[in-house]
């Protein structure tokens, strides 16, 4: 469900006169409050080992439960994208990221509680301090390295990650 359908009442005054203002906002005709649905920032990591294999994760939770993903997640308040990436890797893999380097970004939509939330996904490359004892945690069911030649983009469940994988396969980061 999209933002315009999901929210019928003004969050400031409760009025039902909460109407579409433009392509990314709703305005209350009663109190004048304008709510913007701007993208949330999210991060993901391309982690390549010495054997030229990519670390992938299997999603433990919806959306796209059971599909492949890259380690990452949402950026928290008062956190840089680089800090978010390091925190997510710590939470999801019980490991520490180093040599974090920004690569590119892609727009996405993330389904949460029957709402399509626009996101801006920031992709990074990094290394891990220890690749041998990863412990899948948080919303990661399992993690494993895959040789570049065996990576199949269609197995990745989130649109932006699938596009990022396709881009990666054209120009591998090593």
Domain boundaries, the chain: 3-36, 40-170
Residue 2 confidence class, pLDDT cut points 50, 70, 90: confident
| Cα distance between residue 29 and residue 44, in whole Å | 39
Spatial contact of 79 and 63, defined as CB atoms under 8 Å apart: no
Whole-structure pTM over 0.85, yes or no? Answer: yes
- For 40-170, the fitting CATH number among 3.40.50.1220, 3.40.50.300, 1.10.10.10, 3.90.79.10 is 3.90.79.10
pLDDT score at 19: 97
Strand partners, 80: none
| Cα distance between residue 59 and residue 87, in whole Å | 17
Identify the helix (H) or strand (E) that includes residue 109. strand 97-112
pLDDT exceeds cutoff 80 at 168: yes
| Cα distance between residue 132 and residue 145, in whole Å | 11
Q: Which two tokens stand for residue 132?
A: 């041998």
| Cα distance between residue 84 and residue 77, in whole Å | 10
pLDDT score at 136: 96
pLDDT exceeds cutoff 90 at 1: no
What is the tens place of the pLDDT at every residue in 106-163?
Answer: 999 999 888 999 999 999 999 999 998 999 999 999 999 999 999 999 999 999 999 9
């Amino acid at each position: 469900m999209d933002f315009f359908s999901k929210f019928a009442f003004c969050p400031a005054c409760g009025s039902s006169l909460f109407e579409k203002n433009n392509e990314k906002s709703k305005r209350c005709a009663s109190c004048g409050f304008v709510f913007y649905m701007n993208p949330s920032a999210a991060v993901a990591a391309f982690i390549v080992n010495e054997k030229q294999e990519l670390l992938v994760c299997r999603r433990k939770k919806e959306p796209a439960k059971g599909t492949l993903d890259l380690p990452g997640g949402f950026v928290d308040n008062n956190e840089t994208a680089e800090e978010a990436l390091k925190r997510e890797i710590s939470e999801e893999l019980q490991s520490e990221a180093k040599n974090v380097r920004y690569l590119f970004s892609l727009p996405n939509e993330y389904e949460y509680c029957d709402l399509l939330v626009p996101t801006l996904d920031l992709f990074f490359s990094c290394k891990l301090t220890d690749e041998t004892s990863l412990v899948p945690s948080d919303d990661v069911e399992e993690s494993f390295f895959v040789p570049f030649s065996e990576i199949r983009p269609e197995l990745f469940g989130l649109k932006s990650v699938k596009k990022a994988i396709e881009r990666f396969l054209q120009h591998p980061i090593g």
